[in-house]
A and B are shown apart, each in its own frame.
Chain A
Amino acid sequence: MPYFMGIDIGSGTSKGVIVNDGKMVASHLLPSGVNYREAAQKVRQELLAKAGLSPAEMAHTVVTGLGGNNLPFANQQAADLPCCARGVHFIFPDVRTVIDVGEQAARVLRVSPEGRVTNFVISERCAAGSGRFLRIIANVLRIDLKDVGPLSLQSKNPVTFTTGCAVFGESEAVSRVAEGAAKEDILAGVHKALANKIAMMVERVGLEPECAITGGGGRDVGLIKRIEENLGIRLLVPPDPQIITALGAAIMAEEQARLTAAPELKS
């Protein structure tokens, strides 16, 4: 029985998924570090070990993400948003709008009933709207990134950030700390700023329910709450939102192999 692998090398985290006959067999993720090629090799090795499979058992591998260039084990490189669309469609077939908050950028995409991208917008040219903004502020506040969401939910008086810029936002957070603002209020303020930016992007492509959130941002309950408040909707959150693009890459690998490979795969 052939297996199919999807690898997504993001600027913050590298993710991998193996699927078999339309079912997820294993997933894995680790920090990307500074060498994307090494990260890709490592996530692949550990993913295979987790699944108890050998490289030879992978019928087709699709890589995607910022560090997905020229990986020797890949059969195919794909753009990340089509992979994300397929991954979301696999989990939530009714989703038509996806908010993907990654380390490098936030992206909003519209998805067809077949799981294909029909429109998209990316927060570009600055880190506003990205997970990196949250990491920077968490660093300023000396708290672990995983604690950002729960702490933010405790806020009673969110700080208003006058900027959407991550660089200026860092300075502003430092100023608020010096003024004695509570950490949870600063975090809630950051979440509001991010949610505002993301809401503008959603407006640009048009919101069609259902709407899901993926990427590292999908693990941040504080951010999810603020986006939901801003858009007036409930977001669908996959069980592991960070692996969705890798999952989509694996699904694409299976699709591709069935289209082009041996007759037994086409059945």
Chain B
Amino acid sequence: MVTEKKKKTINRLQSMYPLRANIDEMYKRVVEASKVGKPTAWCMVNWWEADPILKAMDIELVYPENYGAVCAAVGTAQTYLSRSDADGFPTHMCGYARNCFGYAARMKELGEIPPEAPLGGMAKPVLLVSSGALCDARYKWFQALGRYVEAPVWTMELPHPGVVESQKEGAYEGAIAFMVKELREFIEFLEKLLGKKMDWDKLAEMTDDLVKVNRVWFEINELRKARPSPMNSRDFWSCMNASLYPSGDPKVSLKLYQDMYNEVKSRVDNHIGAVENEKYRLAFAELPPWHDLKIFDELAERGWNFVVESWAYHPPKPIDTSQVSDPLRRIAMHTYQWLTGYFQDALAPREYMGYFAFPYLEWARTYQCDGALLHPLLTCRTATNHLMLVQDRLLNKLKVPSLVAEGDIVDLKLFNHADTMKKAVIFEEIMDHYKQARREAGFEW
């Protein structure tokens, strides 16, 4: 009997697979490095404040937040969440942190990487690098890991410019100077910990490579504005880690992103979409339910193409730092740009937009979205607080409606797949209504 293979509804980029493989292999590379005594660290996403420095010091990095997503996607997370719950950590706490606690508890109990750990597991670290950016859970998470892991914790600090005063004269220079000072102290700490000196030429080269990586990744995402959009959010999420964290050797990542740019450009030139019949173009916010990514395939069957997503995981708007000779200042400028690149525009309308909410407004317009799927994360306030503002502004400024589907990044118990699909069907009628309303109001799409 011949069985017809079901056609994939999302036309995945071929260049995504080697990029994703390179990201996944990071875990094995770090385990191997650990076995031969090379220094390894667990590192939070820090928008590059620490990554170039750690890489230049030859420290092998894994990222527990990324690993939380991996564990959720392959179905291992519930084991670690249950273990975290059993150890008394609150169930409403960050899903990534709970996954990490459960993993670390298992590793301590067994004295080795747990056998069920996907992608070879996270090797035992000699250093924990956390970040003060964006989220309060991240301040305490790695400190709490002290119950299971004997390693020093270093928290990357940076200014929190979420107020209008950050636009005052001198504020930018002050922020950059603060970060550069922090980075110098961090390097001193690492030199003491590892007993070796920073190779400044290597740091400059590393920084340069990472800037190039983000530039290409930015250009790829710009191409997604085409109709039909050549790249679906699933490919974004598969590949963002080589930029955001950044996983792997930047030179390898750069080559793979360039290949991806060529493929996406070719699709644009030939009017090839990521979804065969692109009926609705959508934005997605915030992080997806990693345990239920198949929902995007089901939505693609209905003609939904997710053409843009959460701004905080996108590469920053490019800035020219080619004339900046100090790599630490260059790093600081890029990290600051990553977190504040849309802030000035958000202030311009003289109406409260929220600098977390504003990019969605700009992107819904420039990517010509018919709707947005908002995914409030029940274990993450940072990723959730601004979404009701996003919903309000999208509808009232651009006549772009939003569907709200509560869930979680890791904990599958908090997401209702069937209910979300049911709502999605209703939402199509709403998107149709507002498509007409936008036309009548003179919008371009």
Contacts and interface: CB of A to CB of B under 8 A. Distances in A.
Interface in A65-92: 79-82
The 3 closest A-B pairs by CB, nearest first: A79-B425, A79-B426, A81-B426
A82 B426 contact: yes
13 contacts: A79-B422, A79-B425, A79-B426, A79-B429, A81-B426, A82-B429, A112-B433, A116-B433, A117-B426, A117-B433, A118-B433, A122-B423, A124-B406
A161 interface: no
A120 B401 CA distance: 11
Q: How large is the interface on A (under 10, 10 to 19, 20 to 34, 35 or more residues)?
A: 10 to 19
A117 B434 CA distance: 10
A206 to B, nearest CB: 10
A116 B432 contact: yes
A173 to B, nearest CB: 28
A149 to B, nearest CB: 29
Contact of B419 (A82, A116, A118, A124): A124
A41 interface: no
Interface string B430-445: 1011100000000000
Contacts of A125: 406
B378 to A, nearest CB: 10
A120 B426 contact: yes
Nearest to A84: B426
Interface in B394-445: 401, 406, 416, 419, 422-423, 425-426, 429-430, 432-434
A160 interface: no
Nearest to A204: B388
Interface in A114-161: 116-120, 122, 124-125
A227 to B, nearest CB: 23
A127 to B, nearest CB: 15
From B401, B422, B425, B429, residue with most partner A Cβ within 10 Å: B429
A118 B434 contact: yes
A1 to B, nearest CB: 29
Contacts of A112: 433
Nearest to A124: B419
A52 B220 CA distance: 63
Contacts of A82: 426, 429
Given A79-B425, A118-B401, 14 more contacts: A79-B426, A82-B429, A112-B433, A116-B432, A116-B433, A117-B426, A117-B429, A117-B430, A117-B433, A119-B430, A120-B426, A122-B423, A124-B419, A125-B406
B425 A118 contact: no
A117 B425 CA distance: 11
Nearest to B423: A122
Interface string B194-216: 00000000000000000000000
Nearest to B395: A119
Contacts of B433: 112, 116-118
A112 B401 CA distance: 14
Contacts of A81: 426
A117 B433 CA distance: 8
Contacts of B406: 124-125
Interface in B216-235: none
A144 to B, nearest CB: 32
A125 B419 CA distance: 10
Nearest to A77: B425
Among B419, B425, B426, B434, max chain A CB count under 10 A is at: B426
B423 A116 contact: no
Contacts of A79: 422, 425-426, 429
Contacts of A122: 423
Nearest to A121: B404
Nearest to A83: B426
B422 A118 contact: no
A118 B430 contact: yes
Interface in A211-230: none
Contacts of A80: 426
Contacts of B432: 116
Contacts of A117: 426, 429-430, 433
A116 B428 CA distance: 11
A80 B423 CA distance: 10
A72 to B, nearest CB: 21
Contacts of B429: 79, 82, 116-117
A124 B406 CA distance: 10
B415 to A, nearest CB: 11
Nearest to B432: A116
A136 B416 CA distance: 25
Nearest to B434: A118
Contacts of B434: 118
Contacts of B416: 124
B401 A119 contact: yes
